Structure 1
Amino acid sequence: MRKSAAPFLLALALPLAALAQAPVQYSLAFPNAVHHEARITVVFAEVPAAGPLQVRMARSSPGRYALHEFAKNVYDVQATDSKGQPLTVTRPDSYGWDVSGHDGTVRFTYTLFGDRTDGTYAGIDQRHAHLNMPATLAYARGLEQRPAEVKFELPTDWQVATQLRPDANGTYYAPHLQYLMDSPTSLGAQQRRTWQTLGRTIEMSVLHEGTAAELDAYVEQSKKVVQEAAAIFGGLPEYDFGRYTFVANYLPQTSSDGMEHRNSTSLTSNRPLRGAGALDNLGTVAHEFFHSWNVERIRPRDLEPFDFERANMSNSLWFAEGFTQYYGELLLRRAGIYTDEQYCQEALNGLVGAMLNSPGAARFSPVQMSQQAPFVDAAAAIDPNNRGNTYLSYYYIGGANALALDLELRQNHKTTLDAYMRAVWQQHGQTQRTYAPANPYTLTDLQRILGEVSKDTAFAGRFFRQHLLGHELPKFDQLLAPAGLLVRRAKAGQASLVARLSFNPADSTATVGSTLVGSPLYQAGLDREDVVRKIDGQRLTSAKALPELLAAHKPGDVLTVEYRTRGGIRTAPVTLAEDPTLEVVTYETARRPVTRAMKKFRAEWLSGKAKSFYPKPQPEDKDVSG
């Protein structure tokens, strides 16, 4: 057992009497918000006398799997006892402080700097504060099971948006540290829209610069997404404090992100709530809301409970994130936000193209891709890597397998992926205990349930063995054909180097990016940072010169490339390939005949389910506040 994890695991075993101990009290003020600072005070009362109090900042964050070392933005640390007397503070490691000599009370105060508004960090300025709690709040080892009370000292025009429970005394409540750290909070001039669906309160609390009409239209589209998601699972979850909150920040200074949480999601984007920006943002709404089932309540055992002091690795992100990626886009189609053609362009092209053209997908399994999350999920490193040839995001490899499984279940087993997700929900998500899943799943559980839903345990074993534990690629051309959808080359017959080259106007050269296994430049021996000087004897006089040159050739033509590598100036013959970009189009677009069976299959797959799920109009599905 790792030393860093031991205190946390011991905390889980505390007797129930520990729950009656004094809550941890937080106070957040923003006297220097213009310079991105918050002043935070934490009061730990009834602290055990034995040894120093070990105060820590999280090193990782729920929904993220890499280390982020949030202590790097903490300074001006002070600690006093109940009488205001200074206490001794030492640094045992890079992310903690040990406080000695206390009288049972420790008042721990620090300054937090935060200037990145997204789902992982803290963004503070004179307009707002968008706070991911692991990046914001210090905690004490051994006190993880105590409730927390949070008070925000706010400018007069700021309001609070959070999944924390508001209490009558102006504070916000979390039952324990896991819930507290899972509760993103937005502070600012909120614009709120609240409605009821299936007896649940849903609210969208938004910071944006657009009009009220734009927000109203955006909320109407979001309502459709919520209804379609509920139809998949047969209802909405029991939200712990009676509501689900979209904590949304669409101000210009924000970074695009979405981060799932138990009763809320953090949505950040600098794109406005109109036009293409609204559509892009709705995709995040759909993806994150689906997470309120998948990964928040339907949770892999290897992520439960989350450990804030280390990188958290899971074998199941292909399911937790990848299947959610599939459903996020599917919800937009079922809600009528996408047409069939848009769904192909916005969703299927990416999944099918990435899966079939990625070298990594052909050599590593979705389970192995999931295990890479601590190295790729917003992880920072400065050394080059070879992920272009070894990695495909678990979002895409999982989403592509979800697509393949859904189509295979529909074609060969008279059931659907919707039915599979409902069964997983019923067995591993519906029952919750102490704000956590009572029965988190394993890979074995997911395979077993697939066998039950398909009524074919041999098929379930084979699918897992070949596609999830193995890396056999789905046959998308065969799987999509019954829906009247065609997989084809988007640029058939066009010659390509299958490489990214950055034009250098200073000397009419082009720098090579990472070369993919099997691509023309890889085969010819060129590598990253090599500089192409001439192709077919010609200088590249502009960024348009290369596509113009290639347009005069066909796949299979051999061109001489002169380039500068680490070994000097060299030349090599390069055989052009056909552009590998794939697209999925409807048979109508491809001008192929579409049968009645194809139309029926496609409609049963892509059409909205909410109307059949709601037996009659829902009078409660309306605004209850503005």
Structure 2
Amino acid sequence: MQKIFVSFLLAGLLCGTAQAQAPVRYSLAFPNAAHHEAQVTVVFSDLKSGSLQVRMARSSPGRYALHEFAKNVYAVKATDSKGKVLTISRPDPSGWDVAGHDGTVRFSYTLFGDRTDGTYAGIDERHAHLNIPATLAYARGLEERPAQVQFELPAGWQVATQLRPETAPNTYFAPHLQHLMDSPISLGAQQVRTWQEQGKTIELAVLHEGTAAELDTYADQTKKIVREASAVFGELPAFDFGRYTFIANYLPQTGGDGMEHRNSTSLTSARSLRGQEAIDNLGTVSHEFFHAWNVERIRPKSLEPFDFDRANQSEALWFAEGFTLYYGDLLLRRAGILTEAQYMQELTTIVNSMVNSPGARLYSPVQMSQQAPFVDAAAAIDPNNRGNTYLSYYTIGGANALALDLLLRQNYKTDLDTYMRTVWRQHGQAQQNFAPQRPYTLPDLQRILGEVARDTAFAGQFFRTHITGHELPNYEELLAPAGLLVRRANPGQPSMGLLDLAYSPQGATIINSTLVGSPLYLAGIDREDVLLKFNGKPIRKQQELQKLLSKQKPGDVVPVEVRSRTGVRTVQVTLAEVPAVEVVPAPTATPEQLAFRMAWLGSKAK
């Protein structure tokens, strides 16, 4: 408890300058929630003369593309302290300049929001799930001021947020804009489960349609995840106000998403808290809670501080997201939530994606990370060739985390847990003004790997080969000491390539680019081409194509009639074996291999 008191004291001292300034005061009401609208008013006071530059964010912490949140703001008005209407101009699509004020601007607007996920705002008669960059306007030059947020709630609604409660009802405090923007809010009939871990409060605030017993079971499983994550780092973070909140919305109108925040996470899904659906939801819980360390406090220098006016690019998302992806599944296995067979399926997904991605052979995890502004929920209408040039930084990072963990365990008598714990101690534990004192760079991550392995040459080689380079790890060799096999998932089964086809009476239309090196790619067939006949037989249904392929074998040369932009032609296609691989336990695993596997996948929580 003494440690928590000290953290409160430090927070108060660090915010002393901001506290001396007039806070930015927000109020939100929902008189037209049936039509997905909120009424937002923000009062800026103690202003200097001149225009006040009010803006909506263009990007959001944890998202790396532009989202232009101002598009859902309308009916904008501004008055001064006496109610005089002020002149508003639009200098850019995301902003409003307010002139002629008397030191106070009362800025009001209507917000439309009907997407319940971690990025946008979702509002209806049942609830409101608010990502703050998509919800609240701010003023340039006032970013260091504290904020007060007050809600006028419909009957039966409660507030779930990481923001600090004030004494006034339904009123909350943020020390500055960065903290406010990183604080999602859920409003509705919350069902809450609360417990203590290491002297800190953990709470699960849920909107769902299931039973109290289902939520109790879900909370018990979440407790196991919290303990396993804490065991990796040796401790929980010093949450800013002594509390961490899982803000969960599991309602039918909800989009599937998870978004990490400093002292909370936004969890959204239409899945229930029953059976396999609950396990799928817990995968997001595990991933996002690991972020309380990795990316929220262990932050790359390239993302600190987050800029709300532009797309934020980082070279380190392979570590921030990819290593977190690896641990998300690993913690579920260690907690006993995933069976060994289920965990093998997760390993299969990550290894299969890595070894069969043309992009992974061309570009490094660093380069994949730098693609995030184009792929992280970014919207575009023109076709792209990412199937051949891109593999998600989640996947490529997670696949390299797996490889590094196994290398450290096999060759250096240490493991990835030790590495993550060392990164935490050097670049995450020390925080200042609700931000890391020492955000890391790529050289920092390489240096710490050399320290943990006690081999700087290995660390340099690993980064040159697999992080800034794009050589694939040898998963067959790496997984063998754990008594696991990497093998073809469908040996002897012929294929024209991994295809996404739309079937019709005219034929099968190829939706996306064919993959480099695949039979159809080598035959000059690409997206929007229509496969008319296979070996002289028409292709109108998936079952027809599967039946025709089953009569062939890898290496067979088959005539395929195709309609492309140049007309109808017949080309010779050389079939290949289905490239998919799988990870399975070896039937003859030795006691040493089983012990290795247990040391890797067994529980670490005390």
Do the aligned residues in 1 keep the contact of 2:18 with 2:175 (CA within 8 Å)?
A: no
Q: Which deviations, in whole Å up to 9, do the C-alpha atoms of 1:366-401 show, x marking residues without a partner?
A: 000000000000000000011000000000000000
Alignment match of 1:601 (pick from 572, 578, 596): 596
Counterpart of 1:76? 75
The answer to whether residue 282 in structure 2 is matched with residue 282 in structure 1 is: yes
Q: Which residue of 1 aligns with 2:136?
A: 137
Aligned residue identity for 1:504: Y
Kindly, what percent of the aligned residue pairs are identical? Answer: 70
Instruction: Answer whether contact 1:407 1:480 (CA < 8 A) is retained.
Output: yes
Q: Is the 8 A contact 2:507 2:531 kept in 1?
A: no
Q: Work out whether 1:546 is the aligned partner of 2:548.
A: no
Map 1:261-410 to 2 at 5 A. 261-345=261-345, 347-410=346-409
Query: What does residue 90 of structure 1 align with?
Result: 89
Indicate if the aligned counterparts of 2:15 and 2:433 stay in contact, CA closer than 8 A.
no
Q: Secondary structure at the match of 1:214?
A: helix
Alpha-carbon distance, 1:507 to partner: 2.5
CA contact (8 A) 1:47 1:104 kept: yes
1:159 equivalent in structure 2: 158
Query: Matched residues in 2 for 1:537 and 1:550: separation?
Result: 12
Matches within 5 A, 1:240-259: 240-259=240-259
Equivalent position of 1:25 in the other structure: 25
* Deviation of the 1:242 alpha carbon: 0.8
What is the Cα deviation at residue 510 of structure 1? Answer: 3.7
Name the stretch that deviates more: 485-494 or 542-551.
Answer: 542-551
Distance 2:113 2:86 in 1: 27
CA RMSD of aligned residues (A): 1.1
Does structure 2 conserve the Cα–Cα contact (< 8 Å) formed by 1:512 and 1:531? no
The offset of 1:526, in angstroms, is: 0.2
Q: For the residues of structure 1 that align with 2:562 and 2:540, how far apart are their CA atoms?
A: 15
Hey, what's the Cα distance between the residues in 1 that align with 2:282 and 2:16?
Answer: 42
The alignment partner of 2:395 has SS state of helix
Instruction: Return structure 1 stretches of 4+ with deviation > 4 angstroms.
Output: 14-19
Aligned to 1:460: 459
Report Cα offsets for 1:236-260 as digits up to 9, x if no partner.
Answer: 0000011000000000000000000
User: Is 1:446 aligned with 2:445?
Assistant: yes
1:55-92 per-residue CA deviation (whole Å, 9 max, x = no partner) reads 00000000000000000000000000000110000000
Deviation at 1:594, TM superposition (A): 1.3
> Any idea what the Cα deviations from partners look like across 1:181-211, whole Å, max 9, x if unmatched?
0000000000000001111110000000011
C-alpha distance after superposition, 1:143-201 (max 9, x if no partner): 00000000010012000000000011121000000000000000000000000111111
* Partner AA of 2:126 in structure 1: R
Q: Which amino acid aligns with 1:399?
A: G
Paired residue for 2:424? Answer: 425
Residue 541 of structure 1: CA displacement?
A: 3.8
Going from structure 1 to structure 2, the CA distance change for 1:183 and 1:419 (only over 3 Å counts) comes to same
Cα separation, 2, equivalents of 1:609 and 1:501: 41
8 Å CA contact retained: 2:503, 2:540: no
Corresponding residue of 1:8: none
Determine the structure 1 residue equivalent to 2:486: 487
* Structure 2 gap segments, 5+ residues each: 1-13
Return the alpha-carbon distance in structure 2 between the equivalents of residues 167 and 453 of structure 1. Answer: 44
Q: Which residue of 1 aligns with 2:516?
A: 517
Question: Are 2:440 and 1:436 equivalent residues in the alignment?
Answer: no
Cα pair distance change 1:454/1:265, threshold 3 Å:
same
What is the distance in 1 between the residues matched to 2:398 and 2:306? 24
Provide the residue aligned with 1:179 in structure 2: 179
Equivalent residue number for residue 168 of structure 2: 169
* Cα offset, 1:16, TM superposition: 6.7
Provide the residue aligned with 2:34 in structure 1.
Answer: 34
Question: Structure 2: how far apart are the matches of 1:21 and 1:194?
Answer: 35
User: Alpha-carbon deviation of 1:508?
Assistant: 4.0
SS of the aligned residue for 2:194 comes to strand
Distance of 2:281 and 2:539 partners within structure 1: 39
1:408 alignment partner, SS class? helix
Secondary structure of 2:265 counterpart: strand
